[in-house]
Structure 1
Amino acid sequence: MRVLKLFGLLCVFTLASLFATERAQASCTATITSLNFGVINPVTPTTVDVNATINYTCSSLITLLSYIKVCIEIGRGPQDTDVNSRVLTHTTISSEKLTYNVYSNPALTTVFGNVYGSASPPVIIHHGPYAIGLLATARGSQTVHGRIPVTNPFMLRSVGQYNSTLPVTVRMAIVSVIGQSPCTVTGTPANISFPIAASLISACKINAQPLNFGSQPSNFSVNVMSTSTIASTCTKGTPYQIGLNNGLYAVGNQRRMKAGDGQFINYELYKDSARSQRWGAALNTAETLAGVATGATQNASVYGKVVPQTGLRAANYKDTITVTITY
C-alpha cells in the first residue's frame, strides 16, 4: 500500500514537471529588416518595389509526428484604416501621406495582413512532422514584398521623410495535421516592430512656349509686343527661381535676333506687362522670377518688345533663349 502511494506521487510530480518545462520552453523569437523605398524623384516617378525579411525561431516540446505551425501576422500602422489601406506619413506634416502596401507573394497580389480566412491573411508555415518527440525547434524566414505605386500624387506632397511602423507577431501551435486555421497559442509569441520609410526630394520640370513677334513692315514705327508662357512644376513647397539668359547674339545685356544674312534686330523680354522689369538670369536678384511651388503646374508670362529700328531688311530673325529653373 505504501509502494502504490509513493508511485502515484512520483507520477504526478513527473507530469507536472513536464508541463512546466513545456510552458517555459514554448516560445518564438523573430527579427525583421527595415523596408526602405529610398529616394523618390517626383519628376520621374516609377513604381518602387523593395523587400524585407522576417527571420524566426520557434521552440516547443512536441509529441511524436507532430508539426510546429508558425503564423506570421502583420497588422495596420498608426495612420492606417485597415491592412488594405496602408500609408506613409510625413514626419512633420501629418496630413501629408503616400500610399503603399506589403504583400506575402512575389506577384504582389496578396496583402500581408492579420485576418485569417480573408483576402489579406497571415502567412502560415508548417515545420515537421518531427519523428522524435520532446523539444523541437522550427527556424525559417519569410520575405515581405513592399510596393509604393506610381499612382501616388508625388508632386502634390511635401518634400521630406515619410514613415510608418507595422506590428508583426510570430506565434506558434503544435498540430497533428497541416491546415490553414489560426495558430492556437502555444507558449510566448514574438512581437516586433516593422519600420517602413521613403524620402521625397525637391525636383522641377519646365517648359517654354515660343514667342513670335509676327510679320512686320521693315519700316515699322511703333513698338511690337508679344507674349509667351513658361510652365513650371516643382514638388510642393519647393522654393524656385526662373532665369532667362541673354540668348545667342546679345551684345552685353542687349538681346538681339539674327537674320540669315547676318543682320540683327534688338528686342527685350520682361516679367511684367508694363515691360519695365527686364527678365534676366542673375540669381537672388530682381532679374529672376521667384516663387514657392504648389505641386501643380504654375504658368508665368513672358512679355516681349521690339522697338522701332531703322535700316532693317526683310528677313526672318531668330534667337534662342535658355530658360533655367533653380531650386
Structure 2
Amino acid sequence: MIPYLRLLLLAALAIAAGTRLSLAQNCSFTVSNVSFGVVDTLAGGQVNTTATVNATCTGLTLSRILICPNLGAGSGGATPAARLMVSGGSVLAYQLYSDAARSTVWGSYLWAYAARPPSLSLTLGVLGGGSANYTLYAAMPGGQTTVAAGTHLSSFAGADVEFRYRYSLGNDCSVLSGSVERPGFNISATVASNCLVSTQDVDFGTQGVLGTNVDATGRVSVTCTPGNSYSVGLDGGASGGPPTARLMTKGAETVTYGLYQDAARSLPWGSGSVPGEAVAGTGTGTSQDITVYGRVPPQATPSPGTYADTVVVTVTY
C-alpha cells in the first residue's frame, strides 16, 4: 500500500505543477513601421503620422496584464529635444508620442532622457486570451530646410525596444520586472528635392529722352534642398525677344531692354536654351539671392507713359 500512496502523491504534484504553468502570462507584440513618406522640408510645416502597436496575450482568465513599452533613441540617436533619422551625414529630427496632441513623448526608463513610456493594459477574456491595438504618434517638425535630399532612417531593435509585461492591477512602469519582448520596427522619411523662387522687379524708374544707357537691377531669390543643383532661366518676356532685345510695351509702342548676369552687362541672361545664358547654382537650404542686371540702351524715345513687360523665371533642378 505504501508504494501505491507514493505514486498517487507524485501524480498529484505533477498535476499541481501543470496548473501553475498554465497560469503564466505570455504576450507577443508587433509595431508597424513609422513612415513619414515623401516630405518637402522647404514647405515649412510639421508632418504627422502614426503607427500601430499590437499586443496578443494569454494567461489566467479575466486577469489584467500591465504592459510597459520602453522605447529608446533608435539607431539614429537622440537629443534632449528630439529623436533623429540619418542618411549618411544628413540628420532629420522627429519625435514619438503617446497622445494625439503630440505633447507627451513616448520614452523609456532605460535611456538618458526624462520622457517615460505610457502604461498600457490588457484584460484577458473568459478563455484566457486577448489582444489590443494602441496608437504610436509621430511628428517631424518643420523648419528643417538644411536637411539633404534622400531617405533618412532610424531602426528600433535590441536595447532600444523593451516591452515588459506582468499581471498587475496597477500602472507603475518604473518597476522593471516581468517578462520582456523586443519587437523591431523602423522610422523613415524621404526628403524630396525641391526649389522655391521669389523675385524683385527691375524698375528703370522715370526717364526723359533715352539717349544714354539706363541701368537698374532686380533680384531672383532661390531656395533649394541642400546639394541640389539648379539653373535659373529668364524667358523673352511677352514679345519673346532675345535676352538683350526684350520689349517693354505701352499699347503698340515699345522700349527695348536687356537682362544680364553681370554688372558689366556682358553676359546675357536668357531661358537657358542657349548654353551659358542661364545662371547655375547648388542649393543650401537657405535663400540664395541672384542679382538681375537690366539695361535700356539708347534708342528713339516713344511717347510718355508707363512701359512694362513680364518675364517668367524658370528654376530647373
On whether the aligned pair clears a TM of 0.5, the verdict is yes
1:147 aligns with 2:143: no
Runs of at least 5 residues in structure 2 that lack an aligned partner in the other structure: none
| Corresponding residue of 1:103 | 97
| Corresponding residue of 1:224 | 214
| Corresponding residue of 2:270 | 280
Matched-pair contact (CA < 8 Å) for 1:221–1:308: yes
Query: Normalized against structure 1, the TM-score is what?
Result: 0.83
Matched-pair contact (CA < 8 Å) for 1:98–1:162: yes
Aligned with 1:88 (options 85, 105, 115):
85
| Corresponding residue of 1:124 | 120
In the alignment, the residues of structure 1 paired with residue 253 and residue 79 of structure 2 have an alpha-carbon distance, to the nearest angstrom, of 70
Shift of 1:201: 0.8
Secondary structure at the counterpart of residue 10 of structure 1: helix
Deviation sequence 1:276-322 (CA, Å, 0-9, x none):
11100024721111111111111111111122113533333222211
Aligned residue type for 2:70: E
Figure out how many residues of one structure are paired with residues of the other and give that number: 308
Deviation sequence 1:36-93 (CA, Å, 0-9, x none):
1111123323212211111121223x3x774333333322212323686311112xx2
In the alignment, the residues of structure 1 paired with residue 147 and residue 108 of structure 2 have an alpha-carbon distance, to the nearest angstrom, of 30
In the alignment, the residues of structure 2 paired with residue 307 and residue 179 of structure 1 have an alpha-carbon distance, to the nearest angstrom, of 81
Shift of 1:267: 1.2
| Corresponding residue of 1:79 | 76
Aligned with 2:166 (options 157, 168, 173):
173
Aligned residue type for 2:35: N
| Corresponding residue of 1:193 | 184
Aligned residue type for 2:77: D
Shift of 1:159: 0.6
1:14 aligns with 2:5: no
In the alignment, the residues of structure 1 paired with residue 34 and residue 8 of structure 2 have an alpha-carbon distance, to the nearest angstrom, of 58
Aligned with 2:286 (options 293, 296, 300):
296
Shift of 1:99: 1.5
Aligned residue type for 1:192: P
1:157 aligns with 2:147: yes
Aligned residue type for 1:105: D
Shift of 1:137: 2.2
Matched-pair contact (CA < 8 Å) for 2:96–2:105: yes
Shift of 1:244: 0.7
Matched-pair contact (CA < 8 Å) for 2:151–2:189: yes
In the alignment, the residues of structure 1 paired with residue 302 and residue 33 of structure 2 have an alpha-carbon distance, to the nearest angstrom, of 69
Shift of 1:161: 0.8
Matched-pair contact (CA < 8 Å) for 1:173–1:183: no
| Corresponding residue of 1:316 | 306
Secondary structure at the counterpart of residue 78 of structure 2: coil
Secondary structure at the counterpart of residue 156 of structure 1: coil
Runs of at least 5 residues in structure 1 that lack an aligned partner in the other structure: none
Deviation sequence 1:214-249 (CA, Å, 0-9, x none):
22222x432222111111111111111111111113
**Per the alignment, do residues 251 and 296 of structure 1 end up closer, same or farther by CA in structure 2, a change over 3 Å counting?**
closer
- RMSD of the TM alignment (CA)? 2.7
In the alignment, the residues of structure 2 paired with residue 305 and residue 241 of structure 1 have an alpha-carbon distance, to the nearest angstrom, of 22
| Corresponding residue of 1:46 | 45
Secondary structure at the counterpart of residue 192 of structure 1: coil
| Corresponding residue of 2:129 | 137
Aligned residue type for 2:280: A
Matched-pair contact (CA < 8 Å) for 1:56–1:170: no
Secondary structure at the counterpart of residue 184 of structure 2: strand
Aligned residue type for 2:75: P
In the alignment, the residues of structure 1 paired with residue 284 and residue 81 of structure 2 have an alpha-carbon distance, to the nearest angstrom, of 29
In the alignment, the residues of structure 2 paired with residue 14 and residue 311 of structure 1 have an alpha-carbon distance, to the nearest angstrom, of 112
Shift of 1:108: 1.9
